[in-house]
């Protein structure tokens, strides 16, 4: 697409929106401005291509399409079949997967499809039939216990939240923690790395139905061959959630033992993050689980989103191009350069560095909580998110860590030299921020002090750093 065509497309869209609700058009324009001016270091965010964005705004949004390709509950879905089949084809070819299901609306939905696919042989239990006639939110802990017992009291073993795991890997506040009796494996306290011998020991003791690999805040590679061997040793299904690092798998940065697709029975992912597509989810699986996975709608999902599946097809086609592999490698190069820049300046990083797209700063060394550090950086034009560190004394809300990632800045074209400058900006903000106190004089985990003049200076420096790398240079909304 030519730059003129991109500008015309988005300006025209905003004009149409503005005629109905100008405040929405203003918010869309303001979001582009904000993203252009901020150093985006949120590891789970990226920038989709104009083609991917435009693929979501069309008449596919008007279609109901429950079912799967060629087996719909609504008539007139022949064009939906086309884009869904294309998205699945691109996914299979890109990841070397036997089967791909591209309907999930999010990573959580993808995980739910995977969980229920594994449990499918037991879903006709009397307890579940009884539960179906009640509101899920009304079920008590005793109800969930009885339901799990009817389902075989199935167990899930996954990485703990403070070690870098995800809420959907069996933790009580999430539905996965109500479906399964869950136990966590952590990391070595001395190194922050997965201790596979301890995972094997936990699996032998706990005997889970599902062993979950994958993470949202673990800065190292994972050996999926070893985890599959552990799963096989106890008869568990091996599931990998690769939502964060799917782009590194697609770009062949992670291969062999570090590519989950050849080793796992079932793999889930989002399609944004490092994969740089639209917000959505996807499931890849071995042939024996394909029929159950394809029942995700209506088992777990409502109607598919055909316009998002169209955008998935576009993004996955982009990821199959040779230049995507170069992009994926630059993500890791940039993350390592950013980590090295922080370490040289005295920052403490979980595991002492990174092998992937993210790093985790333990900000307790700066005398701050994650919440204080996150807000101080945001005041300075640097967008991050707070995150727990292993054995975090501040819990999951205030935290002691800041998670940073490089997929978005790499999309903009920043390289390793700019990562060192970014490390300097981060370090300056954190060293100049001091923890505040509550009204009664006790230490606050949220309040902080940062000179507004310094925050403004860093923000301008961040904008200057981004200036040679404009975001969506082909789009001019003026």
Could you give the residue numbers annotated as active site?
64, 66, 241, 270, 273, 279
Q: Which residues contact 66 (CB under 8 A, 6 or more apart)?
A: 72, 73, 74, 297, 298, 302, 303, 304
How many angstroms separate the Cα of 135 from the Cα of each of 86, 139, 140, 152, 156? 37, 7, 11, 22, 24
Quick one: tokens of 141?
């802990």
The dihedrals phi and psi of 85, each to the nearest 5 degrees, come to: -65, -40
DSSP 174: S
- Angle 272-276-278 from CA coordinates, rounded to 5°: 50
Nearest-angstrom CA–CA distance, 103 and 106: 9
Q: Are strands 181-185 and 155-159 parallel, antiparallel or unpaired?
A: parallel
Q: Which residues contact 247 (CB under 8 A, 6 or more apart)?
A: 273, 274, 275, 276, 319, 324, 327, 328, 331, 357, 407
Whether the Cβ atoms of residue 157 and residue 183 lie closer than 8 Å to each other? yes
Nearest-angstrom CA–CA distance, 476 and 401: 37
Output helix, strand, coil percentages for the chain, rounded to the nearest 5: 50, 15, 35
Nearest-angstrom CA–CA distance, 449 and 436: 6
Nearest-angstrom CA–CA distance, 52 and 311: 5
């Amino acid at each position: 697409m030519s730059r003129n065509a991109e500008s015309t497309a988005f300006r025209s869209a905003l004009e149409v929106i503005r005629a109905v609700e100008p405040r929405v058009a203003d918010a869309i324009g303001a979001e582009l401005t904000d993203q252009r001016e901020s150093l985006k270091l949120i590891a789970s965010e990226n920038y989709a291509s104009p083609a991917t964005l435009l693929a979501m705004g069309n008449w596919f949004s008007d279609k109901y399409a429950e079912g799967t390709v060629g087996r719909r509950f609504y008539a007139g879905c022949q064009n939906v079949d086309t884009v869904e089949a294309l998205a699945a084809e691109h996914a299979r070819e890109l990841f070397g997967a036997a089967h791909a299901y591209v309907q999930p609306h999010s990573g959580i939905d993808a995980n739910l499809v995977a969980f229920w696919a594994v449990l499918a042989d037991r879903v006709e239990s009397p307890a579940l039939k009884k539960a179906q006639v009640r509101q899920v939110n009304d079920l008590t802990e005793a109800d969930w216990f009885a339901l799990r017992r009817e389902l075989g009291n199935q167990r899930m073993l996954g990485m703990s939240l403070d070690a870098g795991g995800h809420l959907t890997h069996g933790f009580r506040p999430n539905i996965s923690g109500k479906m399964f009796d869950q136990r966590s494996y952590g990391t070595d306290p001395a190194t922050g790395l997965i201790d596979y011998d301890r995972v094997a020991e936990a699996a032998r003791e706990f005997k889970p139905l599902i062993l979950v690999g994958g993470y949202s805040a673990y800065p190292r590679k994972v050996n999926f061959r070893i985890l599959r061997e552990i799963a096989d040793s106890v008869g568990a299904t091996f599931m990998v959630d690769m939502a964060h690092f799917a782009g590194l798998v697609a770009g062949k940065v992670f291969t062999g033992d570090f590519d989950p697709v050849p080793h796992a029975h079932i793999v889930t992912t989002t399609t944004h993050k490092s994969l740089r597509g639209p917000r959505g989810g996807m499931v890849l699986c071995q042939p024996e689980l394909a029929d159950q996975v394809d029942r995700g709608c209506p088992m777990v999902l409502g109607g598919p989103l055909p316009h998002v599946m169209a955008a998935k097809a576009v993004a996955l086609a982009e990821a199959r191009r040779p230049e995507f592999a170069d992009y994926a490698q630059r993500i890791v190069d940039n993350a390592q350069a950013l980590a090295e820049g922080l370490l040289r300046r005295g920052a403490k990083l979980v595991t002492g560095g990174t092998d992937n797209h993210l790093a985790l700063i333990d900000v307790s060394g700066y005398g701050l909580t994650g919440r204080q550090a996150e807000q101080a950086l945001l005041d300075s034009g640097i967008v991050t998110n707070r995150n727990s560190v292993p054995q975090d004394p501040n819990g999951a809300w205030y935290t002691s860590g800041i998670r940073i990632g490089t997929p978005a800045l790499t999309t903009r074209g920043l390289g390793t030299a700019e990562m060192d400058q970014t490390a300097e900006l981060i370090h300056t903000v954190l060293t100049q921020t001091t923890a505040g106190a509550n009204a009664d004089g006790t230490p606050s985990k949220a309040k902080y002090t940062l000179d507004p003049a310094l925050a403004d200076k860093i923000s301008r420096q961040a904008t200057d750093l981004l200036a040679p790398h404009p975001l969506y240079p082909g789009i001019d909304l003026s």
